[in-house]
Chain A
Amino acid sequence: MNSPGENIAKCDFSFTVNGVPKKALAYPMERLLDVLRNELELTGAKEGCGEGECGSCSILIDGMLVNSCLVPVAQANGASIVTIEGMSAHALMKPLQEAFLECGGAQCGICTPGMILAAVHLLEKKPEPALSDIQEGLAGNLCRCTGYMQIFEAVAKAARQRVAR
């Protein structure tokens, strides 16, 4: 838990979250992850390590995949933020979610929202990834349950299905 300096007054911040304009009252150095989870009640992004290692708090800011535990809310002012909750209409989501379920890509599920966002981000850039692309694309997302094999399989399967259509 960071101590964002409670001597500095809370400020108003505004951004687009999952396509909807939102405001939040927060300490400027408060982590975006905490603002999303506590103020905006979007709990799909999870805290795993609090230092940008595990990727469980992955979100998209202006289309970039970022660890929201490393972003002070002030830095996201005016940005367009997408969390797992705002992804349901994305064309890659359903194939990925179904492949994760079929292949066993989710076990305890705590890394899964971040993992799926990273996979979407990867498949947008590389619709037909080789195994090494998948390994590299998910290198910022740690999973302790699966040993990754079934996650790789799920991402490859979703990519194949998407290309086949």
Chain B
Amino acid sequence: MQEHHIVGSSVPRKEGWDKVTGAARYVDDLVLPGMLHGATVRSNIPRGKIRKIAFDPGINWDEFVVVTAKDIPGKNCIVLILDDQPCLAAETVNHAEEPILLLAHPDRHKLRRAVDAVSIEYDVLPPVFSIEESEQRSNIIWGADNTFKKYLIEKGDVDAVWRDAAHIIEGEYFTGAQEQLYIENNGVIAAFEPESGVTVWGSLQCPYYVHKALMALCGLPEDKVRVVQMETGGAFGGKEEYPSMIAGHAALLAIKSGKPVKIIYDRMEDMAATTKRHPSRTRHRTAVSQDGKILGGEIEFTIDGGAYATLSSVVLSRGTIHAGGPYYWPSVRIRTRAVATNFPPHGAFRGFGAPQSLFAMERHMDRIAAVVGISPIEIRRRNFLKPGQTTTTEQTIRENIDLHYLLDRALDLSGYAPKKKRFTEENKTSSRKKGIGIAVFLHGAGFTGSGERYLNSLVGVEATAGGKVRVLVSSAEFGQGTNTVLCQIAAEALGLPYEGVAIAQPDTTVVPNSGPTVASRTAMIVGKLVQSASKGIQQTLTKSGLLADSYTPEQFRSACREYIAAHGALKSYSRFEAPGDVFWDDEKYRGEAYAAYAWAVYVAEVTVDLTTYSVTVDDFVALQEVGKVLNPVLAAGQITGGVAQGIGFALYEKVVWHNGRMLNNQMTNYIMPASMDLPPIRVFFEELGNVHGAHGAKGIGELPMDGPAPAIVNAVEDATGIRFRSIPLLSEDVFEALQSESVKQDAASLPGVTA
């Protein structure tokens, strides 16, 4: 077979033509005969007992299908990790916007009025609205202690390091909730037939999560639930767990009415009710030597999980493992906790805990540099992880990563040194203060620790008699390029043109469970399985004597034709096998946390206008090492898109809460970056070898979310001298800080105890 290079080239997106013509079919574009529209009646208080549900007699309720918790045939919960979240609240509500009752009607215009005509009386209970209140535990709202999950990492003897420290540096950092803001709102259609069971078509990331949740909710066996992913208009984690809820609602209405039911959220409902990024608080206390070497430290990382456990434990896990950044800690104690509040549950969002704890780490590094009296560049150089050293979980870095080289290259690409010099000069006389900041970080690819082993993913590849190859995975396309890169990998493995390989629409009756489409795992983990399943097809044909070692696409076609004529079908499956030497201790949180890490250095240049208090990003350099870049155009698109979301996280996107409800649940007043708000985002890749993924690819999707916020806030401090420690950092925050004469010195340096 001749060497060919589909992998590594920017072939066009598989489903691209449908997208640029408007022909792509999203769930709201689908209409089924006799279909009803569904709507959700939600709680308007954050916490209380449901006393009474009343229906306004002005509405003819006979026209409506009404579903309450009593109509649930199976278990009233959205099965995920702890199974604590009801599908419909029956007796108590624990957050505003909690679903209580469902309605369906053929005319969707009549639904809104009907939703408003259901009134619910409550015995109000006191709510909890902050990490601090939750920690006080004077009001227990979840479990025995308001705690969904905690982790403790202990490496070395931290208690011994304070004595020898030249400096002990403390800092406290906060990040806010962030809305995923996919442009396509959440939506599903469900249908029910007594013989075939429930079918759901939806906008979603994880077909088998929905499948599992529906089996439990509807009390149906595996073969009586079918989940089909429609074209999905953005997700970013926001369609990881919540689609199970909406699918459950539509399924209940479909079962009760016997008709297909469509539920499409409008923007306000989507923003108010569905998950957002976990708000966080991180406390650092770091012992540093005279020359700026980290000796050890304590990190406390706490996230606000909202009212139910959902994915908080795993978000916390990723935040915990990333909390130490790309640095060598001889000793460290990391205590972390996900706590309950009465906000709608927070959930998956690109980065999954890492952007929060890395924001703190990278802000804190600048703080350490200032106290030690060296530059932000130098402090990082002195503490970079090197191959052979161990991470906070005592994972030995075996990758050939050279962070010094990455840093040098990023500084060079961004023109860091000359800019820094120029800004210092110009800032003396200008009211437009310029600054430049960096962030260095890593992101683990795939599920944490033993996660991939539990997932046990299965991937299929099939060939038709016409020699067409089709990839069978539950990994969903939602813009990031799943369809394209998996087809590239299969085509490369089989020596076929890219056009000769297609991918099946994710449908649980057609594709095996290749795991959820999350955690930057698709290219690396699923891609590798697609590669080996493709090789399986080839081996089957060569072993049966139908195909020579070297062949043309035409010879492949005739081999397929002959094989299928003789055997009926040609399919090959490949299941995940954990490398034998991987050690992970779930109890002590110690060992090989991730099979591979992506590494990055980001540089942000900002202007802080002292007349308008606005912060603008003028230039952004994103340099990363993600192993083999499978498709340069798609990969660059992942980075620019992630950086844009990171800029929003840092400077624009503020969720305003009032009594547990989001007040600004509209695109008008929740501000994401538009075309005129962004700097040039300049993307660069380094490629190092990686043994784990197909062709050495590592995860890429989440990485770009981690770096922008700390790089930008570091640049703002460079410009203004103010140590901002919370994001989002809005103009009003800049105004407030500049107004107050004595800026709160949050991370005071304690006098070092000399040895």
How far, in whole Å, are A138 and B643 apart by their CA atoms in the complex? 19
Is A68 at the interface (CB under 8 A from chain B)? no
Chain A contact residues: over half helix, strand or loop, or mixed?
Answer: loop
Contact B672 A107 (CB under 8 A): no
Contact A135 B266 (CB under 8 A): no
Contact B480 A107 (CB under 8 A): yes
Shortest C-beta distance, A126 to chain B (Å), equals 15
Contact B13 A144 (CB under 8 A): no
Known A-B contacts A47-B185, A141-B675; A148 and B644 likewise in contact (beta carbons under 8 Å): yes
Is A110 at the interface (CB under 8 A from chain B)? yes
Contact A56 B12 (CB under 8 A): no
Q: Which of B19, B633, B643 contacts A150 (CB 8 A)?
A: B633
Is B152 at the interface (CB under 8 A from chain A)? no
Contact B479 A101 (CB under 8 A): no
Q: Which residues of B contact A84 (CB under 8 A)?
A: 21-22
Known A-B contacts A46-B26, A139-B674; A106 and B667 likewise in contact (beta carbons under 8 Å): no
Contact B636 A1 (CB under 8 A): no
How far, in whole Å, are A135 and B675 apart by their CA atoms in the complex? 5
Contact A147 B633 (CB under 8 A): no
Tell me the residues in window 585-639 of chain B with beta carbons closer than 8 Å to chain A beta carbons. Answer: 633-634, 636-637
Shortest C-beta distance, B268 to chain A (Å), equals 8
Q: Which residues of B contact A71 (CB under 8 A)?
A: none
For B, the interface residue count at a CB cutoff of 8 angstroms equals: 65
Contact A101 B267 (CB under 8 A): no
How far, in whole Å, are A109 and B641 apart by their CA atoms in the complex? 14
Known A-B contacts A101-B13, A149-B681; A144 and B634 likewise in contact (beta carbons under 8 Å): no
Tell me the residues in window 674-710 of chain B with beta carbons closer than 8 Å to chain A beta carbons. Answer: 674-676, 678, 680-681
Is A161 at the interface (CB under 8 A from chain B)? no
Shortest C-beta distance, B157 to chain A (Å), equals 45
Q: Which residues of B contact A62 (CB under 8 A)?
A: none
Contact B672 A144 (CB under 8 A): yes
Q: Which of A47, A85, A116, A144 contacts B641 (CB 8 A)?
A: A144
Q: Which of B31, B267, B637, B645 contacts A144 (CB 8 A)?
A: B645
Contact B636 A150 (CB under 8 A): yes
How far, in whole Å, are A88 and B589 apart by their CA atoms in the complex? 57
Contact B109 A139 (CB under 8 A): no
Known A-B contacts A50-B266, A142-B667; A110 and B26 likewise in contact (beta carbons under 8 Å): yes
Contact B675 A148 (CB under 8 A): yes
Known A-B contacts A1-B112, A107-B641; A144 and B20 likewise in contact (beta carbons under 8 Å): no
Is A28 at the interface (CB under 8 A from chain B)? no
B264-286 interface bits toward A, Cβ cutoff 8 Å, 1 = contact, 0 = none: 00111000000000000000000
How far, in whole Å, are A83 and B23 apart by their CA atoms in the complex? 12
- Can you name the residue of chain B whose Cβ is closest to the Cβ of A41? B31
Contact B637 A48 (CB under 8 A): no
Is A124 at the interface (CB under 8 A from chain B)? no
Is A75 at the interface (CB under 8 A from chain B)? no
Is B29 at the interface (CB under 8 A from chain A)? yes
How far, in whole Å, are A107 and B183 apart by their CA atoms in the complex? 11
Q: Which residues of A contact B232 (CB under 8 A)?
A: 108
Q: Which of A6, A96, A112 contacts B110 (CB 8 A)?
A: A6
Shortest C-beta distance, A134 to chain B (Å), equals 8
Q: Which of B20, B234, B674 contacts A100 (CB 8 A)?
A: B20
Is B327 at the interface (CB under 8 A from chain A)? no
Contact B234 A108 (CB under 8 A): yes
A24-35 interface bits toward B, Cβ cutoff 8 Å, 1 = contact, 0 = none: 000100100000
Is B17 at the interface (CB under 8 A from chain A)? yes
How far, in whole Å, are A55 and B266 apart by their CA atoms in the complex? 15
Q: Which residues of B contact A56 (CB under 8 A)?
A: 183
Tell me the residues in window 83-123 of chain B with beta carbons closer than 8 Å to chain A beta carbons. Answer: 107-113
Q: Which residues of A contact B111 (CB under 8 A)?
A: 1
Contact A48 B266 (CB under 8 A): no
Is B145 at the interface (CB under 8 A from chain A)? no
Contact B15 A104 (CB under 8 A): no
Shortest C-beta distance, A107 to chain B (Å), equals 3
Is A103 at the interface (CB under 8 A from chain B)? yes
B520-559 interface bits toward A, Cβ cutoff 8 Å, 1 = contact, 0 = none: 0000000000000000000000000000000000000000
Is A54 at the interface (CB under 8 A from chain B)? yes
Contact A102 B21 (CB under 8 A): no
Q: Which residues of A contact B10 (CB under 8 A)?
A: 102, 104
Is A136 at the interface (CB under 8 A from chain B)? yes
Contact A44 B640 (CB under 8 A): no
Contact A139 B676 (CB under 8 A): yes
Is B231 at the interface (CB under 8 A from chain A)? yes
Q: Which residues of B contact A100 (CB under 8 A)?
A: 16, 20
Q: Which residues of A contact B20 (CB under 8 A)?
A: 96-97, 100-101, 106, 109, 112, 116
How far, in whole Å, are A37 and B673 apart by their CA atoms in the complex? 28
Q: Which residues of A contact B675 (CB under 8 A)?
A: 134-136, 138-139, 141, 143, 148, 151-152
Q: Which residues of A contact B19 (CB under 8 A)?
A: 106, 109, 112
Is B184 at the interface (CB under 8 A from chain A)? yes
Q: Which of B17, B28, B113, B641 contacts A101 (CB 8 A)?
A: B17
- Can you name the residue of chain A whose Cβ is closest to the Cβ of B642? A147
Is A145 at the interface (CB under 8 A from chain B)? yes
- Can you name the residue of chain A whose Cβ is closest to the Cβ of B669? A53
Is B478 at the interface (CB under 8 A from chain A)? yes
Is B423 at the interface (CB under 8 A from chain A)? no
Shortest C-beta distance, A129 to chain B (Å), equals 12
Q: Which residues of B contact A102 (CB under 8 A)?
A: 10, 12, 633
Contact A47 B12 (CB under 8 A): no
Contact B479 A85 (CB under 8 A): no
Q: Which of A102, A104, A116 has the most CB of B within 10 A?
A: A104
Q: Which of A88, A145, A147 contacts B479 (CB 8 A)?
A: A145
How far, in whole Å, are A56 and B183 apart by their CA atoms in the complex? 8
Q: Which of B13, B108, B234, B680 contacts A149 (CB 8 A)?
A: B680
Shortest C-beta distance, A56 to chain B (Å), equals 6
Known A-B contacts A109-B15, A110-B184; A49 and B267 likewise in contact (beta carbons under 8 Å): yes
Is B66 at the interface (CB under 8 A from chain A)? no
Shortest C-beta distance, B300 to chain A (Å), equals 32
Is A111 at the interface (CB under 8 A from chain B)? yes
Q: Which of B15, B22, B26, B641 contacts A147 (CB 8 A)?
A: B641
Q: Which residues of B contact A38 (CB under 8 A)?
A: 31
A114-148 interface bits toward B, Cβ cutoff 8 Å, 1 = contact, 0 = none: 00100000000000000000111011011111111
Is B236 at the interface (CB under 8 A from chain A)? yes
Shortest C-beta distance, A62 to chain B (Å), equals 20
Q: Which of B21, B233, B642 contacts A108 (CB 8 A)?
A: B233
B229-241 interface bits toward A, Cβ cutoff 8 Å, 1 = contact, 0 = none: 0011111100000
Contact A107 B109 (CB under 8 A): no
Is A51 at the interface (CB under 8 A from chain B)? yes
Known A-B contacts A136-B676, A150-B636; A101 and B109 likewise in contact (beta carbons under 8 Å): no
Q: Which residues of B contact A112 (CB under 8 A)?
A: 19-20, 22
Is B136 at the interface (CB under 8 A from chain A)? no
How far, in whole Å, are A38 and B28 apart by their CA atoms in the complex? 10
Contact A144 B674 (CB under 8 A): no
How far, in whole Å, are A6 and B26 apart by their CA atoms in the complex? 28
Shortest C-beta distance, A10 to chain B (Å), equals 10
Q: Which residues of A contact B268 (CB under 8 A)?
A: 50
Contact A85 B678 (CB under 8 A): no
Q: Which of A27, A46, A97, A151 contacts B183 (CB 8 A)?
A: A46
Known: A49-B267, A109-B231. 15 other contacts (CB 8 A): A44-B21, A46-B26, A47-B266, A50-B267, A83-B22, A88-B21, A96-B20, A107-B234, A108-B184, A134-B675, A136-B676, A144-B181, A144-B644, A146-B640, A149-B678
A-B contacts, 30 of them at CB < 8 A, read A1-B111, A38-B31, A44-B22, A46-B184, A48-B185, A49-B267, A49-B668, A97-B17, A97-B20, A103-B633, A104-B10, A104-B633, A107-B637, A108-B182, A108-B478, A109-B18, A111-B183, A116-B20, A135-B675, A136-B675, A136-B676, A144-B234, A144-B644, A145-B637, A146-B637, A146-B641, A147-B644, A148-B675, A149-B640, A150-B640
Identify the 3 closest CB pairs spanning chains A and B, nearest first: A44-B22, A110-B233, A108-B479
